[in-house]
Chains A and B, each alone.
Chain A
């Protein structure tokens, strides 16, 4: 596998700032479009579930949000590995930009899960393996944000955060399986969120569209946020000053 050498140009914050600025409006437009399409399919077109009635429709937000909360943590571990191995500056910034969105999705997943659980299971919260490990994932995001916010030196914050993200990523599967085992030992047959494999095609489409929309949203937010972070870090450079005060520094 050989990457085009020009692609590495965007590892420089200045080049990436421009690229992110061009990309995010396009992706934001696509995210809105696909999100609206997915919600329309999910909320109006998809048939009512014969067991769960209308309440199941929260699945179109809940499941993609849970996926994204896990995928973003994996993405952070990937950037952390890249940053710690090649000492790239952008990786740490990418993680700072991704973490709030990941935490938001984890929270959204828990929140929508509670809203779904109340009519289905009769309770806001059960100590089910998935719910518990999602909660711990949320704690891991909070820990990452707490650590990076507490360190003043940006380079140290990037590296320490990167190491924490890697340690967390190794632990996530261990936590998941330990919690799963704990749960099955205690409660016997737990409430399962898994649905039958015979899913209505419209439901599947709505879910896929929502998942892609959430992906795009996460990328848009990361790009938007990283632009601010880059400007903050590079404010001593000429190009950043020009960007901040277009008239003042001719």
Chain B
């Protein structure tokens, strides 16, 4: 069996055996999105205005929360060391792990976003743009976050540190992701934002697994 497919298969299987963990980040997303109308205003015009930012920040925090689990389990039981030692390319294996992680924690956020957007009174076109921007953006967040997760592997206070490392690097994704919806709502069209988001995703697909593999080698040295 192809080792990369095997890794994806294994990680998905592990995640499905622990459904609670996989669901936590989606539930977090839903709860956070529900807090904003309570904290700011239930006025529909206000909600439409803040919806792109709120949903994007909610998705960003939710995907960050699950990053700690990306390598921690494999680090504890020694699987990660076997991956580093194996003859398959480490960036490839890491990329497979990131893909599996995104399928279990990023994709549910994308699927949940349209429902939450209805609560914020977005219209159909805006919802479409929002979902597309999250579809391009959440894998980008996973790829950037994976580097942070690898750097903080087994470090004291890793969770808080991880957020300090990763959140500043999430800024461009947030700007273009939420900006796409705002541009669409303003009648400017979202294609420029979405293209830039896709470009960043492509760059991250090339360099992310590689940087992540380097960080894992440092952590396991």
B215 CB, nearest partner CB in chain A, Å = 6
Question: Which residues does chain A contribute within 8 Å of B167, judged by CB atoms?
Answer: 139
Contact between chains at A179 and B165 (CB < 8 Å): no
Q: Which residues of A contact B175 (CB under 8 A)?
A: 178-179, 181-182
Is A146 within 8 A of B165, CB to CB? Answer: yes
Within 8 A of A (CB), among B47-65: none
Q: Does B25 contact A (CB under 8 A)?
A: no
Q: Which of B164, B171, B176, B219 contacts A146 (CB 8 A)?
A: B164
Q: Does B172 contact A (CB under 8 A)?
A: yes
CB < 8 Å neighbour of B179 from A142, A163, A168, A182: A182
Q: Is A147 an interface residue (CB 8 A)?
A: yes
Inter-chain contact A159/B171, CB cutoff 8 Å: no
> For window 116-166 of chain A, which residues contact chain B by CB distance below 8 Å?
136, 139-140, 142-143, 146-147, 150-152, 155-156, 159-160, 163-164, 166
Q: How far is the CA of A166 from the CA of B215 in the complex (A)?
A: 12
Q: Is A33 an interface residue (CB 8 A)?
A: no
Please report which residues of chain B, range 8-50, place their CB below 8 angstroms from some CB of chain A when the two chains form the complex: none
Contacts of A170 in B (CB 8 A): 207
> How long is the Cα–Cα vector from A236 to B2 in the complex, in angstroms?
49
- Indicate which residue in A136, A143, A159, A182 contacts B218 across the interface (CB closer than 8 Å): A159
Q: How far is the CA of A242 from the CA of B165 in the complex (A)?
A: 39
Task: List, in ascending order, chain B residues with CB within 8 A of A155's CB.
Answer: 221
Q: Is B151 an interface residue (CB 8 A)?
A: yes
Distance (whole angstroms) from the CB of A231 to the closest CB of chain B: 24
Chain A residues with Cβ below 8 Å from B207 are: 170
Per-residue CB proximity of B141-185 to A under 8 Å, as 1/0? Answer: 000000100011001111001001101110110011001001100
Residue from the list A139, A142, A160 in contact with B219, Cβ < 8 A: A160
A160 close to B176 (CB less than 8 A): no
How far, in angstroms, from A152 to B157 measured CA to CA in the complex? 12
| B165-A164 in contact (CB<8A) | yes
Q: Is the CB of A178 within 8 A of B172?
A: yes
Alpha-carbon gap, A168 to B147, bound state (A): 11
| Smallest CB separation, B218 vs chain A (Å) | 4
In the bound complex, do residue B176 and residue A167 qualify as a contact, i.e. CB atoms below 8 Å apart? no
Separation of A164 and B151 alpha carbons in the complex (Å): 8
CB closest chain-A residue, reference B173: A178
Chain B interface main SS type:
helix
**Residues on A with beta carbons closer than 8 Å to the beta carbon of B221:** 155-156, 159
Q: Does B112 contact A (CB under 8 A)?
A: no
Interface residues on A, range: 20 to 34
Contact A163 B164 (CB under 8 A): no
In the complex the two chains form, what is the Cα distance from A164 to B165 in whole Å? 8
Cβ of B116 within 8 Å of any chain A Cβ, yes or no, is: no
Bound-complex Cα distance A170 to B168 (A): 13
Cβ B218 vs Cβ A163 within 8 A: yes
**A147 and B179 contact, CB distance less than 8 A:** no
Bound-state CA distance A142–B167 (Å) is: 12
Q: How far is B176's CA from A160's CA once the two chains are assembled, in angstroms?
A: 29
The docked-state distance in angstroms from the alpha carbon of A147 to that of B155 is 9
Asked whether, in the complex, the Cβ of A174 is within 8 Å of the Cβ of B172, the reply is yes
List residues of chain A with CB within 8 A of the CB of B165: 143, 146-147, 164
When each residue 197-214 of chain B gets 1 if its CB lies under 8 Å from chain A and 0 otherwise, what string results? 000100000010001001
Interface string of A180-197 (1 = CB under 8 A from B): 011001000000000000
Apart from A150-B152, A155-B221, A171-B172: 18 A-B pairs, beta carbons within 8 A: A143-B161, A147-B151, A147-B155, A147-B165, A150-B155, A150-B156, A150-B157, A150-B158, A156-B221, A163-B215, A164-B165, A166-B211, A167-B147, A170-B207, A174-B172, A175-B169, A178-B175, A182-B179
A-B contact pairs, 21 of them (CB 8 A): A136-B168, A136-B171, A143-B161, A147-B161, A150-B155, A150-B161, A152-B156, A159-B221, A160-B151, A163-B147, A164-B165, A167-B169, A170-B207, A171-B169, A174-B172, A174-B200, A175-B172, A178-B175, A178-B176, A179-B175, A181-B179
Residues of A within 8 A of B (CB): 84, 136, 139-140, 142-143, 146-147, 150-152, 155-156, 159-160, 163-164, 166-168, 170-171, 174-175, 178-179, 181-182, 185
- Top 10 A-B residue pairs of the complex, sorted by shortest distance between their CB atoms: A178-B172, A139-B168, A159-B218, A178-B175, A182-B175, A143-B165, A150-B155, A143-B164, A136-B168, A160-B151
